[in-house]
């Protein structure tokens, strides 16, 4: 899956709708300190389903919403949309079978986040899985934060293994295993209830 465009609206310093065209080859973002380069990378991670406010350099997730300046009022929502070239049909069948896939995440104050795939409501989990299977995703080692290299050097072996697993594209399987374990546990509970009922009837 190739990313072709990122659109930010009310996200951090990008108060007005801003498009970042991701052309073939290498895309570089240059600018003075504090102009919003890291915010762009965070927007990419956020639309792919990031749940940790700390990874967005905020105290809570609503901190990604434009907080206002001396001349402009704060916004009530932030939205990031990622346009993906799906002409090779690499997106799972649950997503629209179209050449272009638009994933949109919007956060509204006091309401929270909602996701859409080509205008259809989808769950956060579906979006996270889509990118985890594609070996990208909010935790992808392809997205390198400032200070992340030294963090990795000092990390415990378990955390380093997680990076390798993400790069190998198997982190989606861990998520599925976790869900399967939850289902198994609830089925075991149901079976216990059935045993109770049978015992009462006997």
CB of 48 to ligand ATP, least distance (A): 17
**Tokens representing residue 154 in the block:** 């000092």
Residue 37, annotated as binding a ligand: yes
The whole-angstrom separation of Cα 158 and Cα 6 is: 33
The Cα–Cα gap between 52 and 65 comes to 15
Of 36 and 49, which has the nearer Cβ to ligand ATP?
A: 36
- How many residues does this entry show for the chain? 202
36 is in an annotated binding site: yes
Q: Which is nearer to ligand ATP, 69 or 100 (CB)?
A: 69
Return the number of the residue (81 or 171) whose C-beta is nearest ligand ATP: 81
Burial of 158 (0-12, 13-18, 19+ CB in 10 A): exposed
Q: Give the nearest distance from C-beta 138 to ligand ATP in angstroms.
A: 17
**Closer by beta carbon to ligand ATP, 70 or else 202:** 70
Q: Tally helices (H) and strands (E) across the chain.
A: 5, 6
Backbone dihedral region of 172: left (phi > 0), alpha (psi from -120 to 50 degrees) or beta? alpha
Query: Which residues contact ligand ATP by CB under 6 A?
Result: 12-13, 31, 33-39, 63, 65-67
Q: Closest distance between ligand ATP and the C-beta of residue 106, in Å?
A: 15
d(CA 147, CA 118): 35
Which of residues 8 and 127 has its CB atom nearest to ligand ATP in the complex? 8
In the complex, the smallest distance separating the C-beta of residue 75 from ligand ATP, rounded to whole angstroms, is 8
Flag whether 33 is marked binding. Answer: yes
120 known member of a binding site: no
Residue 38 assigned to a binding site: yes
CB of 128: closest distance to ligand ATP in angstroms? 23
Q: How far apart are CA 164 and CA 176, in angstroms?
A: 18
- CA quadruple 151, 153, 155, 156: dihedral, nearest 10: 180
Could you list the residues known to form a binding site for ATP, using ranges.
Answer: 32-39
Which residues does the annotation place in the binding site?
Answer: 32-39
């Amino acid at each position: 899956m190739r990313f072709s465009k990122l659109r930010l609206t009310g996200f951090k310093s990008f108060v007005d709708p801003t498009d970042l065209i991701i052309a073939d080859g290498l895309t570089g973002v240059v600018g003075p300190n504090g102009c919003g380069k890291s915010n762009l990378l965070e927007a990419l991670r956020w639309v792919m389903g990031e749940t940790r406010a700390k990874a967005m350099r905020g105290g809570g997730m609503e901190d990604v919403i434009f907080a206002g300046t001396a001349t402009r009022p704060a916004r009530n929502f932030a939205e990031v949309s990622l346009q993906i070239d799906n002409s090779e049909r690499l997106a799972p069948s649950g997503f629209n079978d179209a050449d272009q896939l638009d994933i949109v995440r919007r956060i509204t104050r006091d309401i929270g986040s909602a996701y859409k795939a080509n205008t259809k409501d989808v769950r956060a989990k579906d979006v996270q899985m889509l990118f985890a299977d594609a070996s990208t995703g909010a935790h992808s080692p392809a997205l390198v934060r400032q200070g992340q290299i030294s963090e990795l050097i000092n990390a415990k072996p378990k955390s380093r293994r997680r990076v390798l697993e993400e790069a190998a594209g198997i982190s989606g399987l861990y998520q599925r295993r976790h869900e399967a374990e939850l289902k198994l546990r609830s089925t075991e509970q149901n079976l216990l209830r059935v045993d109770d009922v049978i015992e009462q009837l006997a």
